[in-house]
Amino acid sequence: MISEVISEMTSEVISEMTSEVISEMTSEMIGRPTAAAAAAGAVVAGAGGIAGSGAPVLKGENVSRYYDGAGIRVTALDQVSFEIYQDEFVVVLGPSGSGKSTLLNLLGGMDQPSGGKLWYQGRDLTTFTPGQLSDYRREVVGFVFQFFNLLPSLTALENVALAAAVAKEAMSPGEVLGLVGLAGRERHFPAQLSGGEQQRVSIARAIVKRPALLLCDEPTGALDSKNSAAVVRLLLEMGRAFHCPVLVITHNGEVARVARRVFYMKDGRIDRVGINPSPLPVEELVL
């Protein structure tokens, strides 16, 4: 389904800066409040913010996903219920096969539930037509994948510009690459970039369209520890700057230390929701 999203896009056409600098730069580019200003309307708690009030951006009620074949039913997601709020950085933690990626695919409109209800801003995604889901993916969701999924024949700038071309109110691809610390690398092809740099291009591609929701599937899975920590810091800053929820799927428990809430998944269910009263400052994160 990932390749289908990339194909759909095609057919329709971290730096060392401080948190304040990144926030101010991004706010000027996207024309939205800084993290400090946004805090007046919502509680941003520590490294992994959680909204203190208001309706959830995403809500699931008894969401299930199963696959039938040859008289056998395989349940990937089993009656999961949850709420995700504005400005929240949520980590979904669990071993392989626990249902993490299935949940992300449903939230991103890449698949639909077999049962239950799933709402985005009060709209029932389970009733969406394929065309409406396509619009939802293109206009609302920014995706960051483990293996980058950059087009190898395009430069970093062209990969980001491809996503910008299908967005209604895209930012400048060059400015976004500068924001993620890749100024001067715009004309390089993916093979000429390190793994950390390729993931930053992937993040730039996700945020260039000013997403209302950022979904990340194992974004540090293909990176070394130094680049992994830099990517997590960048995702936190982008969530604050864009005033949007960030959902990070991972099996790395260290990433959960910077989040206020952690969904622990097991056997297709949210086994428990952990609340971290004192999230680790992202500057101290070591992976």
- pLDDT at position 255 is 92
Does any domain span residue 126?
no
Greatest pairwise CA separation for the chain in angstroms = 57
Output phi, psi for 33, to 5 deg.
-65, 150
Asked, for residue 171, whether it belongs to a domain, the answer is yes
Q: Given this model, what pLDDT does residue 1 score?
A: 52
Average pLDDT over residues 182-190: 95
Range with the poorest average pLDDT among 16-30, 99-113, 228-242, 255-269: 16-30
pLDDT at 147: 85
Which range scores top for mean pLDDT: 53-62, 97-106, 275-284?
97-106
Q: What is the DSSP letter of 32?
A: -
Q: Return the SS3 of 65.
A: strand
Q: Give residue 45's pLDDT.
A: 34
Confidence of residue 169 (pLDDT cuts 50, 70, 90): confident
The answer to whether position 37 is within a domain reads yes
Question: Which pLDDT belongs to residue 35?
Answer: 34
- pLDDT, tens digit, 9 for 90 and up, residues 142-168: 999 888 889 999 999 999 999 999 888
Looking at residue 129, its pLDDT comes to: 95
Among 41-45, 118-122, 127-131, 217-221, whose mean pLDDT is lowest? 41-45
What pLDDT, on a 0 to 100 scale, did the predictor assign at position 24? Answer: 42
Residues 248/216, Cβ–Cβ less than 8 Å: yes
d(CA 23, CA 258) in angstroms, rounded, equals: 18
Report residue 126's pLDDT band, with 50, 70 and 90 as the boundaries.
very high
Please report whether residue 64 resides in a domain: no
Tell me if 116 is assigned to some domain. no
Count CB neighbours of 74 within 10 A: 10
Distance (Å) of CA 258 to CA 26, 106, 170, 214 = 21, 24, 29, 17
Q: What's residue 53's pLDDT? A: 52
| CATH number of the domain within which 174 lies | 3.40.50.300
84-88, 105-109, 224-228, range with the lowest pLDDT? 224-228
pLDDT for res 224: 85
When mean pLDDT is compared across 27-41, 82-96, 139-153, the lowest value belongs to 27-41
CA dihedral (101, 159, 25, 140) positive or negative? negative
DSSP, collapsed to helix, strand or coil, labels residue 231 as: helix
Answer whether residue 133 shows pLDDT above 90: yes
Number of domains in the chain: 1
Q: What is the mean pLDDT of residues 36-52?
A: 37
Give 276-285 contacts, CB < 8 A, sequence gap 24+.
Answer: 276/48, 278/46, 279/45, 279/46, 279/47, 279/48, 280/47, 281/46, 281/47, 282/47, 282/232, 282/233, 282/236, 282/258, 283/233, 285/229, 285/232, 285/233, 285/254, 285/255, 285/257, 285/258
Is 60 inside any structural domain?
no
Q: Calculate what percentage of the chain has a pLDDT beyond 70.
A: 82
Q: Looking at residue 246, what is its pLDDT?
A: 96
Predicted TM-score of the model (pTM):
0.79
Task: Evaluate if residue 207 carries a pLDDT over 90.
Answer: yes
253 within some domain: yes
Contacts of 31 (CB under 8 A, 6+ apart): none
Domain membership flag for residue 127:
no
pLDDT at 41: 32
SS3 call for 186: coil
Q: How many CB atoms lie within 10 A of CB 134?
A: 16
* CB-count exposure of residue 274 (10 Å: 0-12, 13-18, 19+): middle
Please give the residue range of the domain that contains residue 38. 2-53+85-111+134-284
Q: What angle do CA 263, 104, 275 make, to 5 degrees?
A: 15
